[in-house]
Amino acid sequence: MAEKNTVKQMIDIMSRSGWRITEQRRTLAEIFAKHEGYLSPKDVYDQMTNQYPSVSFDTVYRNLRLLSEMGALEQFYFMEGGLKFRGSCLSHHHHHLICINCEKTLTFDYCPMEQTLELPGSFKIVNHRFEVYGVCEECQKEPGKEN
């Protein structure tokens, strides 16, 4: 059931942004609904070509970036793994703790933007992200992992 809700939420976001809902875009939403972790653009491309062999990597990448800009996907940059995406957490505003070893993600409700900020000029914030990278408890217990 959660999978169907995720697909519906992503399609609703696409519709509100003026996108025509094609079968390829529906498939893209389904890929993220079925996968809880992070997917690289290559991972998504590989899955898309199973169903749509003629789809280009550029098209997949462009759609991932646009979906991220409209809030349907979250993007993260991993030192070892590069840029990766996952479905957005749309239930409430929160930020992430991300393990650099296993990519496990924990949410936490602290938001630094709730503090009083003295911004230069008349800068207007329209969006923000806050991720903290470290090593999760399980990876700290494994020998040979960073502590």
Q: What CATH code is carried by the domain that includes residue 19?
A: 1.10.10.10
Least confident range from 10-24, 34-48, 83-97: namely: 83-97
Residue 147 has pLDDT above 90, yes or no: no
pTM to 2 decimal places: 0.69
Residues 63 and 22 in one domain: yes
Q: 27 in a domain, yes or no?
A: yes
E strands along the chain, which residues? Answer: 73-78, 82-87, 95-99, 105-108, 131-134
pLDDT confidence bin for 56, thresholds 50/70/90: very high
Q: 30 in a domain, yes or no?
A: yes
Token pair 């696409």 in the structure block, residue: 14
Q: Based on the number of CB atoms within 10 Å of its own CB, is 35 exposed (0-12), middle (13-18) or buried (19 or more)?
A: middle
Percent of the chain with pLDDT over 70: 92
Query: Helix 23-34 and helix 41-51: axis angle, to 10°?
Result: 130
Residues 77 and 49 in one domain: yes
Token pair 């957490």 in the structure block, residue: 89
Residues 8 and 76 in one domain: yes
Residues 83 and 54 in one domain: yes
> Tens of pLDDT along 61-81?
999 999 988 888 888 887 777
Number of domains in the chain: 2
Residue 99 is part of which domain span? 95-141
Q: What CATH code is carried by the domain that includes residue 133?
A: 3.30.1490.190
Residue 109 has pLDDT above 90, yes or no: no
DSSP result, 65-88: HHHHHTTSEEEEEETTTEEEEEE-
Q: 147 in a domain, yes or no?
A: no
Residues 137 and 80 in one domain: no
Residues 11 and 81 in one domain: yes
